[in-house]
Chain A
Amino acid sequence: MNVYNDMDSMGYAEMVEGCRRHDAAAQRALYDATAPMAMGVCMRYAASREDAQDMLQDGYVKVFERVGQLRDSKRLMSWVYSVMVNNAIQTCRHNRFERLASDMEPLTKPLDLEPYLMQDIVAAMQQLSPRERLVFNLFTVEGYSVDEVAKRTRTTNVAVRVMLSRAREKMREALS
């Protein structure tokens, strides 16, 4: 049975240490402990479950190659989460930009996601275009500002606002 099953920080420490030594059992344990959360992240950023699993794979290759950068093993979950998000950004950043309608579109009303179930929200997200989905996630879920989103996706503030507005409209439509 899995030696690392208990989730306290001691277990994490052993997991991380083992992964630094490229120990396969430790890697498996780390994966088992973090995969459902990581898959959840990928499901939000990807267009489909298949794309999400590809993104998950890429993400874990990065996780295991960079595990040496994790100083505090107690922060394992947060760290894996951020590696997954950054991987998602890098993967999705490639997508071409849709043509922007106008230069100065005002931001539409914020969409309150509280009333909805996460799985419904994610299902609605999969109906957005890749760019809209990326921007919507970074702004609404990760909580980045428009400026930060623009910087991380390497576009302009205007583009981000346009994507965000479109995403909100589509989400509103899909969730109602």
Chain B
Amino acid sequence: MKDWKEYEVEPDEGVFEKVERRLKMRRLWRVGGWTAAAAVVVAVGVLVATMRPTVPTQERERVAEKAVVPTMPAEVPVVAEATDERPETATPTAAVLPTTAVRETVAPVVAATAVQSATSEPAKAVAETAVAAAPVAKPAPAPAAPKAEAEPVRTAGGEGEENAVAEGTAEVHAAKAGEGGTTPTVHEDNVVWVPNAIAPHSDVDDVRTFRMVFTSTVDNFNIQIFNRRGMRVYSSSDPQFQWDGTFDGSDVPQGAYVWVATFRDTSGRLRQEKGTVTVVR
């Protein structure tokens, strides 16, 4: 039997250098993304604070009364809210690449409340990546289009699961900031649905695991999930993955986790999506 590991061919010179360059670019992209987003958080936060001081309070009240205990299946009210604020829901799954920037509308408010949230730097930064990608005053057309296409996603998903999580005021703020409820995001070629919170020990099946739903097949899929200190707790290259909130066999602590997914969509473009998912015990 031939041992094909012994079949060796010398590559040309320079391949390694190209690899190094690409690795460096990718690292810069990641780091640059965070710092750029963080800078925008501050900028937009200041802007909003001076422009719309009352909105956050109103929203806060609305969310507070609609905050749902994780295991509660009756999340219809949150659904309604989510649809109203559909553009914000795009926030957690914002694309790093500026080309797919169609998601903002109430993003400024998101920024304001997110600044106050207790989530970690990366999580905040992620939430504002969408803001970074779009101007502050994005008009209403955004909600209309995504909304129409979001419906089939929910039914396609089969369950319309909403994972509104309310634990403490910090999370309530975060929930208000577009992270309460479903977060369907409309992209040109794939519609992605991800929960923004999971409750691994819930009685309700649908909220137990973190997964992504696509409307068409994707390639080169890779997802990684990190805790606030940047330690990776999960990774997979299977688009049908499901993360049950464990690391090395044991439950991870309650809190916010950041996920980063890369894949090639049906138009062949390489995409990177990020978001946060809150693990509730």
| A75 on interface, CB distance cutoff 8 Å | no
Distance, CA A119 to CA B237, complexed state (A): 32
* Segment among B3-11, B146-154, B173-181 that sits at the interface with chain A: B3-11
Q: What is the number of contacts between chain A and chain B, taking CB atoms within 8 Å?
A: 77
User: Is the pair A40, B7 in contact by a Cβ cutoff of 8 Å?
Assistant: yes
Q: A90-B220, A93-B219, A154-B217 are in contact. Are A61 and B8 (CB under 8 A)?
A: no
Identify which of residues 1-56 in chain B touch chain A, using a CB-to-CB cut-off of 8 Å: 1-2, 4-12, 15-16, 18-20, 22-23, 26
Seed contacts A39-B9, A94-B219, A122-B7; 19 additional CB < 8 Å A-B pairs: A27-B20, A31-B16, A35-B15, A36-B8, A36-B9, A39-B11, A40-B7, A52-B9, A52-B11, A53-B15, A56-B11, A57-B18, A61-B23, A64-B23, A68-B232, A86-B237, A94-B264, A114-B2, A118-B7
A-B contact pairs, 26 of them (CB 8 A): A35-B10, A36-B9, A36-B10, A37-B6, A37-B7, A37-B8, A39-B8, A40-B8, A40-B9, A44-B4, A53-B11, A57-B18, A60-B16, A60-B19, A61-B19, A61-B26, A64-B19, A68-B232, A78-B5, A90-B220, A94-B219, A113-B2, A114-B1, A118-B4, A118-B6, A122-B7
The contact of A65 among B11, B23, B220, by CB within 8 Å, is: B23
Q: What interface size band does chain A fall in?
A: 35 or more
Residues of B within 8 A of A (CB): 1-2, 4-12, 15-16, 18-20, 22-23, 26, 217, 219-220, 232, 235, 237, 264, 268
